Amino acid sequence: MKFKKRKFVKILGFSAIALLFPIKAILAATKKVINPNLSKEQKKVMFNEGTERPFTSDLLKEKRKGFYHCANCGNKLFASTSKFDSGTGWPSFSEALPGAFKTKLDKSFGMERLEYHCAKCGVHHGHVFNDGPKESGKRFCNNGLCLIFKPE
Ligand SMILES: [Zn+2]
């Protein structure tokens, strides 16, 4: 009798973990650290929707041909042909590659801005505005810390 009781407790404990697991798995899938070498600053921007200080990104001067990837998961986000100098101090792009991002309305700081995040790993990248200079009319204002440039 004693043995049976213990076995029952064990089964109960196991089902509790099994029940909790799908919720945890869903939460983790929306935003998770894939690149273990991310710096503290990168994590702050990507996971807490922070903003890097303007005019600090080395990518502002990047003029080579290639692609910009997500620094966390490597997802291909922008082609160098869409990059332009917006004068804002953040790397700016007129359009993203199809399916690269998902967007969400951000109402922080008393403004309504369209926040965008990596469609693959969910980390924050920047905000998109409708005052772009090219045909798309878009300006993707991206934190340089979230990007890795790979020249072609
Ligand atoms: Zn990503």
Residue 68 CA to ligand 1 center (angstroms) comes to: 11
Q: What distance in angstroms lies between residue 105's CA and the mean position of ligand 1's atoms?
A: 19
Q: If we measure between CA atoms, which residue out of 141, 126, 124 comes closest to residue 90? A: 141
**Averaged pLDDT of the chain:** 88
Tell me what pLDDT residue 4 has: 56
Assigned token pair, 28: 């983790």
In angstroms, the CA 66 to CA 133 distance is: 21
> pLDDT tier at 31 (50, 70, 90 boundaries)?
confident
pTM of the model: 0.80
pLDDT of residue 12: 54
Whether 119 and 43 have beta carbons less than 8 Å apart is answered as no
Residues identified as active-site:
141
119 CA distance to ligand 1 middle (Å): 7
